[in-house]
Amino acid sequence: MRIYLFAALLLFTKIFGDTACATAQNNQSSKDGIPMIKVLTNAAENIRISDWKHEGDGWSIHKFELHGGRQDGVDLIVVDNGKLRLTVIPTRGMSIFEVTSGDLRLGWDSPVKEIVHPKYINLESRGGLGWLEGFNEWMVRCGLEYAGHPGQDKFINNVGDEATMDLTLHGKIGNIPASKVKVVVDDRIRIQGIVEERMFYGAQLELSTEISTKIGSTAFSISDRITNRGASDQEFEIIYHANHGPPLLEEDSQFIAPVKRVTPMNQHAAGSIDQYNTYDEPTPGFVEQVYLLAPYADDSNRTTVMLRNAAGDKGVAFSYSIEQLPHLTLWKNTLSKQNGYVTGIEPGTSFPYNRRIERQAGRLPKLAAGGSRQFDIDFRLLIGSAAVEAKEVAIEKIRDGRPTQLDSEPPETSDQ
């Protein structure tokens, strides 16, 4: 009988983990330099742990499952490093729902109130706008086979003929559950995941991601690798759609960046090009404005952009390589709060036109068979006027006195 009880205890610990053991293991790893590793999901081995918690000295990681409504079955991982909390959604392509530190929040108040499971999303609804039925994250990736506006594009079908396909808004990757999810704690807290976007006679793209932070820090990083697992060259796109509402977004908030060129996406946006980087109060009936930006970079080809509130005492900064992500989209949607008062800062491999437009413009990259591309973005929450001012000085240093060109007309290759 004792043997059976012992075996059952071992099985329970393997499947569900144990908070007390996890805490003890963390304390040991902190002393001995041994990383803590916990697999939470592995589709190949039929593993999915519904609830697990790991605690350290003033920090914690908690994985749990949501219930009820269209969020039923969604997995969340909440990382609290002692200074900030970030919430990862493995079920929705490893998106990040929100990041908070005190009263500073990266995120927005979408009309979509639940974190919607992809099984309830019809991407083809409303003319390819079904992606919006689950849109409420702070950061969601757009891609991978395609991103941007819905519409038609050409492809080669299974018998080798050119055919037409309907592309849906911003692609599929944000509505694919991760096949593998792992937590690693060493010198950082790391949430790692693999999301597969594959089909027979189609794209075979793999996203390998790590979202990480240091204990006690107000900074975190996203490190992604996209790999073509197919035997032929494959076009791809990725846009990091990072969305902000209050407290960073308000009347007289500013987007600050070392911008070389600003181009309106359509004629409507062109009418407000002189105010592209400032924001209005919530305005019922506001029609979105989108601007296409080319940033300057430093000698290492890195740029930094920032969104700050009107008082200049709260902000967020993004730093990344323009070799990896050469194009930056600024989306302004200052509608009423009930309908979605939000702005998007969107570094990407392309702009959010339909894929056929991006191909015509020469902005559609390809991966060779077995090839990979790396994408890294560092984020920092800016708390207090000194932190905001210091980041603005750093941005101006990148600009180095160089001018910003404001285009009065949208590109000729516009599909607007």
Task: Decide if pLDDT at 55 tops 60.
Answer: yes
Average pLDDT, the chain: 92
The pLDDT tens digits for 274-299 are: 999 999 999 999 999 999 999 999 99
Q: Which of 98-112, 121-135, 250-264, 400-414 has the lowest mean pLDDT?
A: 400-414
Distance CA 293, CA 260 (A): 7
**Residue 187, exposed/middle/buried by CB under 10 A (0-12, 13-18, 19+)?**
exposed
> How crowded is the C-beta side of 275, counted as CA atoms within 13 Å?
12
Q: Which residues pair with 40 in a beta bridge?
A: none
Which of 19-23, 105-109, 289-293 is least confident? 19-23
Q: Quick one: pLDDT band at residue 30, thresholds 50, 70, 90?
A: very low
Q: Facing residues of 379 across strands? A: 220, 318
Q: How far apart (Å, rounded) are the C-alpha atoms in residues 143 and 121?
A: 16
CA gap 406, 416 in Å, rounded: 19
Contact of 133 with 140, CB cutoff 8 Å: no
CA distance 118 to 71: 9
For residue 20, pLDDT beyond 50: no
Structural domains of the chain in order of their starting residue, each with its CATH number: 2-406 (2.70.98.10)
In the block, residue with structure tokens 């690693």? 184
Residue 156's pLDDT is 84
The pTM score is 0.92
